[in-house]
Amino acid sequence: MSNTHAKPSSILKIFQRYPQLGTLIGLVVIVVFFSLSNPFFLTPANIFNLVNQTASIVIVAFGMTMILLTGSIDLSVGGVLALVGVISALLLMAEVPIPLIILIGLLVGCTVGLLNGLIVTTFGIQPFLVTMGTMIITRGLAQFATGGRSLFIQADGFRQVVTQGNLFGIPVLVYWVLLFAIASYFLVSHTPFGRRMQAVGGNPEAAAYSGIKVKKVQIIVFIMSGFLASIAGFITMSRLSTAMPTVALGIEMDAIAAAVLGGTGFKGEGGSIAGTVLGALVIGTIINGLTVLRVDAFLQNVIMGIIIISAVIISVSISKKAAA
């Protein structure tokens, strides 16, 4: 009898210690399912589409992971992405040099992040409410700048640098994702600042007593979230050759889901950039697979919601049982 109880307990403890393991298993199952359902799924052309579709989500999710680590949330990332895309497109049309366009776009994202951080820390307002307000403002500014229209770009030089180029036969976009993944991983897992983020998310009062400047950490993390949302704005505009004020609607929810599916809790527990990558791949693979199977776009949202809720329920259940 004791052996039969010991085995499940050991398995649960493994899942508790490595929360990303369940996400990895889920990803494998999803890939196998779609591969058997449609032979086109694992072709090089579709894998490239998958990378394109997932890149913006995963980069925004890196910033969201850091935000969650500090116990906050950032709903403005989609608005920042759209606004940066629109501003960049307008500057490209005005033939502004590409380095200057990138600098301006990054400054826009960082400024929105700075405002989010300052308002949250100065007035003590819930991040949910503050970032919902800046989400509305940034979307509104993008609509005002374009008159609600889509802007089509033909800047081949910009697109070659951001998404369309190849290096050693590998799309340049893969290198950009890897660059930000590695940088985010080392920042979160191997720097004093990463430990401060987790301390702030776990217990801000205890963090303050230990000498951590809690407000400064929160502000910096919001700036980084805006910075990464700007990068995603460049990628999205380049990939679509279009800037739209309504682009990437709901990407903030995808980013949160990717972080949570990867094992990050809303108080920073279990935070992992590697897990976030897996979570983003799960979401991107599901979206891509359902598209390949020609599932109705509205029904895709329903299926995605069910899968995310189910995954979170399973994760929470495993954690509770392992803790018991």
Give per-residue pLDDT as tens, 257-268.
899 888 887 766
Percent over 90 (pLDDT), the chain: 68
Residue 309 has pLDDT above 70, yes or no: yes
Inform me whether the pLDDT recorded for 6 exceeds 50: no
Q: What angle do CA 298, 301, 303 make, to 5 degrees?
A: 110
Query: Above 70 in pLDDT, residue 316?
Result: no
Q: With respect to residue 303, please indicate whether it lies within any of the assigned structural domains.
A: no
pLDDT digits (tens, 9 = 90+) for 25-58: 889 999 999 999 999 999 988 988 898 889 999 9
Name the band, by pLDDT with cuts 50, 70 and 90, for residue 199: very high
Q: How many domains does the chain have?
A: 1
Range of the domain at 78: 59-272
- pLDDT digits over 152-182, tens only? 988 788 888 888 888 887 888 999 999 999 9
Which residue has better confidence, 294 or 20? 294
Q: Which pLDDT does position 184 carry in this prediction?
A: 96
CA-CA distances (angstroms) from residue 9 to 5, 12, 180, 227? 6, 5, 37, 42
Residue 40 lies in a domain: no
Residue 38 in any domain: the answer is no
DSSP-assigned beta bridge partners for residue 243: 151
Residue 321 lies in a domain: no
143 falls within a domain = yes
Asked whether 260 and 312 are in contact (CB, 8 A), the reply is: yes
**% of the chain exceeding 70 in pLDDT:** 89
Instruction: Work out the average pLDDT over 4-27.
Output: 69
Per-residue pLDDT at 61 exceeds 80: yes
Average pLDDT, the chain: 89
- Does residue 160 form part of some domain? yes
Note the pLDDT tens digit of each residue in 137-148.
999 999 999 999
In a domain, 11, yes or no: no
Q: Return the SS3 of 272.
A: coil
Given a cut of 70, whether residue 3 has pLDDT beyond it is no
As a whole number of angstroms, the distance between CA 259 and CA 64 comes to 7
Say if residue 223's pLDDT is above 50.
yes
- Name the more confident of 317 and 286: 286
Asked if residue 5 has pLDDT above 90, the reply is: no
Q: Say if 110 falls within a structural domain.
A: yes
Lowest mean pLDDT among 11-15, 99-103, 287-291: 11-15
Distance (Å, whole) CA 314 – CA 151: 43
The single-letter DSSP state of residue 162 is: I
